[in-house]
Structure 1
Amino acid sequence: MRLSTVILPIHRWAEGQKIWRRAEDLGFHAAYTYDHLSWRSFRDGPWFGAIPTLTAAATATERIRLGTLVTSPNFRHPVTLAKELISLDDISGGRITLGIGAGGNGFDATALGQEPWTPRERADRFAEFVPLLDRLLTEGAVTQQGAFYSADEARNIPGCVQRPRLPFAVAATGPRGLKLAAAHGQAWVTTGDPKLYETGTPEESRAAIRGQLEKLAKACAEIGRDVEPMEKILLTGFTPEKNTVLESVDAFVDFAGRHRELGFTEIVIHAPIPDSDFASDEAVFEKIATQALAQLGA
């Protein structure tokens, strides 16, 4: 199992670079950031762009993988996003993973002046966005006319450092999203079942996640793909254990072990942010980073 972290883009770079370097020093497999224009309780505070932040992080680190968790079509277009990702993959020396999802109804959904899309509209756009982005990252020139997204001889030479392209980690729980994950994802991402976030039990959460994994396996089987080698990523902080996962190394090891049994290969924890939903003890966070995997293996 791998252990990774999320660093929200809320710090001016003079301070933020220290957090990204510290994540590498602590031995995390990857450090991700949210790709939003703003987010929930952080809406009235500092919030910087994901791609510039990751570009800066790529120059400030050497080994740790970097990525979005997650990007969505809410304010992105495949043509411009592909160009930015190819550049970022080059600057990082091939250390980028694209976490990508259908998006939601938050601030991103209306910041460009549009009406928020319905769940069906988000699914329709996502179903067009991902395959086109896949082509743009693997082909030198792409022309495609879509209902929502088009490209006219969009050129992306020399392509990604990672071949045939940088990996996609597709966040999905519905049938259409899971089909996209099966067809285009090198990894699958979940936060659990949002309906259980406030009032569910850990047992109910694991049962719901088990159901998601079964649906993923079915989507893979339908196209003749073996689901086993596919990476399965759990972003923590959104399950009923949200307030206890980072209380101690033992608490995290118990949580991670139970989800490893379900089939997860990577657990992602938020870097501590005081006075927020992601507040946690920095010393415990560092102990988890440096000790938990060894204890989990034992």
Structure 2
Amino acid sequence: MVGVMRLSTVILPIHRWAEGQKIWRRAEDLGFHAAYTYDHLAWRTFRDGPWFGAVPTLTAAAAATATLRLGTLVTSPNFRHPVTLAKELITLDDISGGRVTLGIGAGGNGFDATTLLKGDEEPWTPRERADRFGEFVPLLDKLLREPAGTTHEGRFYSATEARNIPGCVQRPRLPFAVAATGPRGLKLAARYGQAWVTTGDPKLYEAGTPELSIEALAGQLTKLGKACAETGRDTAELDKILLTGFTPDFNPATTAPRQGRPLDSLAAFVDFAGRHAELGFTEIVVHWPVADSVFGADQQVFERIATEAVAQLR
């Protein structure tokens, strides 16, 4: 059906490492292309439970695995600075032997946007998040490409002879997977990304249908193609990553009972993945099951999908 399709997973940073390391190793054993984690200070309904830092978690995962790619989905400027992030990334890339992908986006209105605020401060507006993202990504790119020293004085971020010697194991730097749907973010993806990430159209989760979601994703891909053309880049150079769980296919209220949700069975997932592969997606990311949550799924079915789905899509 498709030429190349990769299947990856997101492992939420909710597990004490005595248990968590088993999950990351299992993800490698199952043959996932990559395992990512969320980079938040807290997230939605998981706020009042365990939630560990993304970079330390990925560092431990790098030591516990040998071939699995690792990364964030996604890091944002909400509580990060390009200079300190660059230092952490080159360290993580070194420890992992060059297995790191940085998923990066503009951020949103969640706890990341409010936790560090003073009492009289307001969260950044969408425009300000986009403005910061537009400066954050080019500076981070420069910091990772030019380890001998970077100086930058911008509107939001500064760096004075910032050194990141010896630089990334992956040259000229580790890959960026840029999450974006708006015109400014898509231009950043076209210029700086080795991959593009989307979760679909969030407005369709409650009121949409799988068919409408496919149309919305096709529209996003068209806009990505235009952004690449304006940058003088072939869109085929970018991997297209779909982070699942946020489209109508995963909402029980909008899923046809006969077919079921994508993680309900191997057949349902192959159908879902095939339709999105035909759009041009090259990597699909599924959440590692978390019982009694929005990411609940049968572990045995999930592992069968991990080991058998990609072969059926070829």
> Normalising TM by the smaller chain, what interval?
over 0.9
- Superposition map of 1:43-58 within 5 A: 43-58=47-62
Provide Cα deviations, 1:150-207, integer angstroms capped at 9, x if missing partner.
Answer: 1000001000000000000000000000000000000000000011011100010010
What SS does the corresponding residue of 2:236 show, helix, strand or coil?
coil
What SS does the corresponding residue of 2:80 show, helix, strand or coil?
coil
- Name the amino acid aligned to 1:185: G
- Of 140, 151, 163, 1:143 maps to 151
What SS does the corresponding residue of 1:197 show, helix, strand or coil?
helix
TM-score (ref. length: structure 1): 0.99
Is residue 2:224 matched to residue 1:207? no
What SS does the corresponding residue of 2:242 show, helix, strand or coil?
strand
- Superposition map of 1:64-103 within 5 A: 64-103=68-107
CA RMSD of aligned residues (A): 0.6
Rounded to whole Å, the distance in 1 between the matches of 2:312 and 2:16 is 35
Where has structure 1 moved over 4 Å in runs of 4 or more?
none
Contact 1:109 1:115 in 2 (8 A): no
Q: Which residue of 1 aligns with 2:235?
A: 227
Contact 1:205 1:240 in 2 (8 A): yes
What SS does the corresponding residue of 2:206 show, helix, strand or coil?
coil
Residue 38 of structure 1: CA displacement? 0.5
Rounded to whole Å, the distance in 1 between the matches of 2:204 and 2:104 is 23
- Name the amino acid aligned to 1:199: A
Q: Which residue of 1 aligns with 2:20?
A: 16
Q: Which residue of 2 aligns with 1:245?
A: 262
- Of 276, 300, 303, 1:286 maps to 303
Count of paired positions: 297
Rounded to whole Å, the distance in 1 between the matches of 2:186 and 2:143 is 21
- Of 119, 125, 139, 1:118 maps to 125
Rounded to whole Å, the distance in 1 between the matches of 2:60 and 2:42 is 19
Provide Cα deviations, 1:70-98, integer angstroms capped at 9, x if missing partner.
Answer: 00000000000000000000000000000
Is residue 2:276 matched to residue 1:259? yes
Rounded to whole Å, the distance in 1 between the matches of 2:177 and 2:108 is 17
What percent identity do the matched residue pairs reach? Answer: 80
Residue 229 of structure 1: CA displacement? 2.4
Rounded to whole Å, the distance in 2 between the matches of 1:141 and 1:284 is 49
Rounded to whole Å, the distance in 2 between the matches of 1:172 and 1:230 is 13
Q: Which residue of 2 aligns with 1:167?
A: 175
Rounded to whole Å, the distance in 2 between the matches of 1:185 and 1:218 is 15
Provide Cα deviations, 1:113-138, integer angstroms capped at 9, x if missing partner.
Answer: 25211000000000000000000000
What SS does the corresponding residue of 1:241 show, helix, strand or coil?
helix
Provide Cα deviations, 1:15-43, integer angstroms capped at 9, x if missing partner.
Answer: 00000000000000000000000000000
Rounded to whole Å, the distance in 2 between the matches of 1:296 and 1:212 is 23
Question: Gaps (5+ residues) in structure 1?
Answer: none
Provide Cα deviations, 1:204-244, integer angstroms capped at 9, x if missing partner.
Answer: 00100100000000000001100012100000000001141
Rounded to whole Å, the distance in 1 between the matches of 2:123 and 2:220 is 26
Rounded to whole Å, the distance in 2 between the matches of 1:74 and 1:232 is 24
- Name the amino acid aligned to 2:274: G
TM-score (ref. length: structure 2): 0.94
Question: Gaps (5+ residues) in structure 2?
Answer: 252-260
Contact 1:233 1:266 in 2 (8 A): yes
Contact 1:4 1:267 in 2 (8 A): yes
